[in-house]
Amino acid sequence: MASPLVFSVTRREPVLVPPAKTTPHEFKPLSDIDDQEGLRFQIRSIHFYRNNIAMKGRDPVRVLKDAMAKALVFYYPLAGRLREGPGRKIIVECNGEGIMFIEADADVRLEQFGESLKPPFPCYDELLYDVPGSGGIFHCPLLLMQVTRLRCGGFIFAARMNHTIADGYGFHNFLIAMVEMIKGSAAPSVIPVWSRELLRARDPPRVTHLHREYDDVADTKGTIIPLVDMAQRSFFFGKREFSALRKHVPPHLRTCSTFELLTACLWRCRTTALSPDPDEEVRAVCIVNTRFKYKPPLPAGYYGNALAFPVAISTAEKLCEKPLGYALELVKKAKEEVSQEYVESVADLLVLRGRPHFAVVNAYLVSDLTHAGLERVDFGWGRPLYGSVPNAGVGNIEGVASFYIPFRNVEGEDGILVPLCLPGPAMERFVVELEAFINEEPYNRTPKVIMSGL
C-alpha cells in the first residue's frame, strides 16, 4: 500500500473453537522433520474478500467459525497442544482444547486499502491480534484466526499457525476442508493423513549427504540482518521481467524453472546490496516440497512438514562478479540434490544433532508459494483479492526470507510477487541492481567488485 491506512478495530473476547464432535484424546509424536528448530515459529497469512450479494444475510464470522469446528473433527490434532519430551522430541496432545478465534469489526472499506493489495501490510497487527500468551510453541493454541468484518460488507481473514504442526500445503488442505464444510460436505474430499512416521529418522540413523544447510556458522561479523531501519517492498515479475532475466544466462540454462532463475537473480542482487566481505560465504536456501520425491509419493492428505532446505553456497565475491549463470547453476544443483534418500538423511542428522536450526548467517531463504493455493481459497464470497503471506520474513528474522506469491497486477497481468525486507540503504542498492538486470542488455554489465561496508 502506498501509505499506512489508519482505522480502528473492535474485537470481541477471543474464544477457543473446539472440534464440533468429540475426538480422540491421544498423544501423537511429530515427525523428525517437523520438530527441527528452524520450524519452531508461527507462519502467517491474510485473505481479503469482497462483499458478495449472493451471500447476503450470511455472517462470515459465524460461517467460518462453524466451518473450523467441523473441519477440526477430521484435523483434530490441530485442536491440541504441543509438549516437548526427551531429546527435544515434540508430541501433540490431542485434547480437543481448540483453535483460538477472534471476531472483529473495522471502520474501513475494502477499497480504502488501495487498488493493488500486496505486502507489506503495516495494519496486520490490527487484523490478527496477538492474544497474550497465545504465541508460544508449547502449551498454546496451534492456530490463531481472526475474521474482521468491513463496512462495505467484505471481510478479512487472517491466521497464524505453529509451523511444526503443518506446512503451507497442509494449512491449505485445512482451509479447503473448511470450504467443503461450508458447502455442506460431510467430510473433506482429501481425508487428512497423520502418518508422521513416514518422515521419522532411521534406526540406527545414518547421515548419507553433506547437508551444509545445517552448518554451524558463527555470526562473528554481525551478518544476521538487524531488525532496525528495515524497509519492506514487493517486486512483481511478469513475462517481460522473466524474458529479460533469461537473456542474462547462457542458452543451455534458459530452460531452467522460473523459481531457479528468480532465486539466482535475487540472491545475487541482495548479496551485492548488503555488501558482505568478499571472502565470506553466502547462501541461498531453497525450500523444496518433498512430497513427490518419495516413491510412492506421500499420501495426498499428509499435512505435516514435507520440506527440505538444500543450500547453494558461494563466496560473495564470486557470486557478484561472475555472470548470472554461475548463481543459477548453484541453485539448480542444490535443488537437484533432494531425493527420498536425502530427506531420510536429513531426519537422521536432525536426531543425531539435537534438531538444530538451519544456518541463517549470510543466508537468503526462498519459499515458492505459487502452487500453495492460498490465493484460491473461496469460503463462498469468491476468491480473495489477495491471499498469502502478509510480509517478508519468517519468525523473528525479518530480512532472511522471501516468498514467491502468485499475483495479478493492476494491469491484469499474472506473475510472481516477491516481498523483500532489507535495511533501508541496502534496499536502495538492491533496486538499482535488479533494475539493471531487467533493463540492461545481457553481458554489458560491468562486473561488481563488492567492498565490505558500502
For the sheet containing 311-315, what is the strand order? Answer: 230-237, 414-423, 401-408, 363-368, 281-286, 311-315
**What kind and span of H or E run contains 45?**
strand 42-49
- Map grid coordinates 561479523 to a residue: 221
Q: What are the tens digits of pLDDT across the range 197-220?
A: 999 999 999 999 999 999 999 877
Pairing of strands 311-315, 42-49: unpaired
- Percent over 90 (pLDDT), the chain: 88
Please, what is the average pLDDT of the chain? 93
Q: CB neighbours of 131 closer than 8 A, spacing ≥ 6?
A: 14, 100, 102, 144
pLDDT band at 17 (very low <50, low <70, confident <90, very high): very high
- pLDDT, mean of residues 399-421: 94
Looking at residue 122, what is its pLDDT? 83
Q: Greater confidence, 446 or 6? A: 6
pLDDT tens, residue by residue, 282-336: 999 999 999 999 999 999 999 999 999 999 999 999 999 999 999 999 999 999 9
pLDDT tens digits for range 212-247: 999 999 877 666 666 567 899 999 999 999 999 999
Determine how many CB atoms are found less than 10 A away from the CB of residue 322.
16
Sheet bearing 90-94, strands edge to edge: 26-29, 90-94, 81-84
- Domain span(s) for CATH 3.30.559.10 in the chain: 9-199, 212-439
- Identify the pLDDT of residue 222: 64
9-199 topology per CATH: Chloramphenicol Acetyltransferase (3.30.559)
- How far apart (Å, rounded) are the C-alpha atoms in residues 97 and 79? 6
Per-residue confidence (pLDDT) for residue 227, from 0 to 100 = 59
Segment 109-129 shows an average pLDDT of: 92
pLDDT in tens, 343-382: 999 999 999 999 999 999 999 999 999 999 999 999 999 9
Computed from CA positions of residues 371, 377, 383, 384, in that sequence, does the dihedral angle turn out positive or negative? Answer: negative
- Mean pLDDT (whole number) for 130-150: 97
What residues contact residue 421 under an 8 Å CB cut-off, 6+ apart?
120, 225, 230, 231, 232, 391, 392, 393, 398, 399
Query: By the 8 A CB rule, do 263 and 245 touch?
Result: no
How many CA atoms lie less than 13 Å away from 127 in the CB half-sphere? 25
Count of CA atoms in the C-beta half-sphere (13 A) of 286? 26
* Catalytic residue positions, numbered: 163, 378
pLDDT band at 3 (very low <50, low <70, confident <90, very high): low
Strand runs labelled E in 72-128:
81-84, 90-94, 99-106
Identify the CATH assignment for 212-439 out of 3.30.43.10, 3.40.920.10, 3.30.70.20, 3.30.559.10: 3.30.559.10
pLDDT digit string (tens) for 417-439? Answer: 999 999 999 999 999 999 999 99
